[in-house]
């Protein structure tokens, strides 16, 4: 009985951080928005038709249908008690509210989703229990999906392949700053450990990263890293630069 309770606790709290995909049932989906109806009817067959026009995605089933190979993971933005009074990283950011009835705990987490080929999303979820918080974060991550530019902007490499980023970008969230710089092949992800998950799910293999400012707040650092990836899409490039840097993905007009 005790082993069964322990196993159930691990499944509910998802200590590994990896969210398993239960599969998408197209027939059971009843879209509520015009965009969702077009996707189900087959009028829209590629998610680029939505992202390039800047249309808001209000249903997660749209992303599940257009990006079937999407993977979801949770970032370690919290801290839990470790041995001998020390702390260790955790995917849950736990807070408590004092009331007359006692302490009311709440759990928050950050989910990251991507297909490893230029599409990535990030979402924050908070609830009184771990499972609803995880589902909220996963749902928001799919709704915040973006498409980024990839290329080879390093002067040391110049291979014109999409293994890094085409140019240097800066991201900001509150007092946390994050800078991404192109790197040659074989460098791998030289940046903060949790930021490596975001970059890996975005399909970036080699990059230099630097966090500045108030980096003790891990949540703001992750948002700053995601904001830096957004800047890749906002910068306009010419056809000559696309060929020279091997840029793929994103809006190039």
Going along the chain from its start, the domains and CATH numbers come out as 2-19+71-146 (3.30.160.20), 148-245 (3.30.230.10)
Residue 251, pLDDT score: 55
Is the pLDDT at 5 greater than 70? The verdict is no
Q: pTM for the whole thing? A: 0.86
**pLDDT tier at 1 (50, 70, 90 boundaries)?**
very low
Phi-psi region of 54 (alpha: psi -120 to 50; beta: other; left: phi over 0): left
For residue 18, is pLDDT > 80? no
pLDDT at 27: 86
pLDDT exceeds 60 at position 10? no
Residue 229 CA from chain centroid, whole number: 10
Question: For the purposes of burial, counting CB atoms within 10 Å of the CB of 251, is it exposed (0-12), middle (13-18) or buried (19 or more)?
Answer: middle
**Residue-level pLDDT at 2:** 42
**Mean pLDDT of all residues in 53-71:** 92
Strand partners, 99: 102
Report helix, strand or coil for 236: coil
Residue with tokens 């009817």: 41
Contact at 8 Å (CB) between 191 and 206?
A: no
């Amino acid at each position: 009985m005790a082993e069964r309770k322990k196993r159930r606790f691990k499944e509910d709290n998802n200590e590994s951080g990896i969210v398993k995909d239960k599969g998408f049932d197209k027939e059971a989906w009843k879209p509520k928005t015009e965009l969702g109806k077009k996707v189900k009817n087959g009028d829209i067959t590629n998610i680029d038709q939505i992202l390039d026009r800047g249309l808001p995605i209000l249903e997660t089933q749209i992303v599940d249908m257009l990006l079937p190979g999407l993977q979801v993971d949770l970032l370690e933005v919290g801290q839990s008690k470790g041995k001998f009074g020390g702390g260790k990283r955790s995917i849950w950011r736990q807070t408590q509210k004092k009331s007359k009835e006692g302490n009311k705990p709440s759990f928050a987490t950050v989910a990251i989703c991507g297909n490893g080929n230029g599409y990535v999303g990030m979402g924050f979820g908070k609830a009184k229990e771990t499972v609803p918080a995880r589902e909220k974060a996963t749902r928001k991550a799919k709704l915040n999906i973006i498409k980024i530019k990839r290329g080879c902007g390093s002067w040391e490499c110049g291979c014109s392949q999409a293994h890094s980023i085409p140019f240097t970008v800066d991201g900001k969230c509150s007092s946390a700053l994050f800078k991404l710089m192109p790197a040659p092949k074989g460098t791998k992800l030289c940046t903060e450990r949790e930021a490596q998950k975001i970059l890996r799910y975005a399909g970036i293999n080699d990059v230099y990263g630097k966090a500045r400012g108030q980096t003790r707040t891990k949540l703001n650092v992750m948002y700053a890293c995601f904001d830096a990836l957004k800047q890749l899409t906002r910068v306009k490039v010419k056809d000559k630069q696309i060929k020279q840097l091997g840029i793929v993905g994103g809006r190039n007009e």
